[in-house]
Amino acid sequence: MKRFNSKWTAPAALLAFGIATLAASAASAADMTPISVGRTTSASGFHIPSYIAMDKGIFKKYGMDARYRSMSGKALLNAGIAKQIDFVPIPGGGSQALLKGAPITFLVGQSLISQWTITAHKDIKSVEDLKGKIIGLGRPGSADYDEADIVLSRHFGMEPGRDYKVISFRGEAERIAAMINGDIHAGLLTFPHAAKAKLAGFQVILKTGKYLPRIGGSFWVHNDYLKANRKTAKAFVHAMAEAAEYMASNKEGSIDVIQKYFAMKDRREAEGVWEEVFDQYGPDLPKNLVKSLFESRVKRMIAQNLWPKDKPLPDLEKFVARDLIEEALTERGYVRGEGDYLQPKP
């Protein structure tokens, strides 16, 4: 009994099917818009939605052929301003660059709270026990320095240099290594890295998110890119919104991504991270948090003589693609919620 009612033999039919499939794939790939997405060299808890968008095919769903460009935060900042990367998730450096005249615009959010922890040796039981100790932070002016500085000074009356010493490390893995070696007593770590540190015998003594709502990992683009590629920029907002929704609703899939990007051997680590932050992401850029971001940056700039002490902030809304954000999120059925930001309908 013949299996094919056609003039093609079985091998020829399979070959024809394969050619047709390849042609369809090629056509599909040709329809995709290539984009470059910035990624820090160390995985960051602020950036988990972008990892989900990449790993779960969400960028592709919205017609974007996304490729990572991985480098340090400062290098990402410079590359974005130089138009060498399309989408850059460095809001702190971006805000300072804007205040100095850089032609960039904030496009979409990721994290809505500060995700840093101060994780310390077991003999340090409280924040007050850090007095006289050495803490591993990032470089001055970066989020992994400023947020510890803000919380410790504002809520505990502790100032760097006076109440505790600081050693700056480029990455969180280096801080954990220094804690293990006994070079520092505590380190500023995001939730995923704090989970790793816990397995090494350390403990979290402070979560900055308890004191500091903020926009973290927010993406910005060069003004020229936004002007020439508004449709793609809007698709990027849609993709990031869907990634945040995925994070909130798909526990197992999100844990898969966390475990992969943070190289966690023990799945329980990744599950612990998800439980801490699964509902703390959103694509909107709330006005009060944008203001807070710029105010904290100006404070640092004043101390460095980079901003006149009595000079007010400019109109910050001109730095945000508010119309595009609201257009995309309204299409998704988002409504105003607590904190006056757009979020999915309950």
The pLDDT tens digits for 156-184 are: 999 999 999 999 998 898 999 999 999 99
Q: Which pLDDT tens digit goes with each residue over 282-293?
A: 999 999 999 989
What lies within 8 Å, CB to CB, of 25 at 6+ separation is none
Cα 121 versus chain centre, distance: 27
Determine the pLDDT at residue 19: 44
Q: How many residues does the chain have?
A: 346
Q: Which pLDDT tens digit goes with each residue over 62-105?
A: 999 999 999 998 999 999 999 999 999 999 999 999 999 999 99
Q: Name the nearest CA neighbour of 134 among 169, 178, 167, 157.
A: 167
Determine the pLDDT at residue 170: 83
What lies within 8 Å, CB to CB, of 110 at 6+ separation is 46, 47, 48, 49, 50, 89, 215, 216, 217, 218, 219, 240, 244, 281, 283
pLDDT-derived band of residue 242, with 50, 70 and 90 as boundaries? Answer: very high
Helix 322-331 vs helix 230-249: crossing angle, to nearest 10: 50
How far lies 204's CA from each of 133, 187, 267, in Å?
16, 10, 19
Q: Model pTM?
A: 0.79
In three-state secondary structure terms, 260 is: helix
Taking the C-alpha atoms of residue 156 and residue 162, their distance in angstroms, rounded to an integer, is 13
Domains in the chain, ordered, with CATH?
32-113+214-343 (3.40.190.10), 116-211 (3.40.190.10)
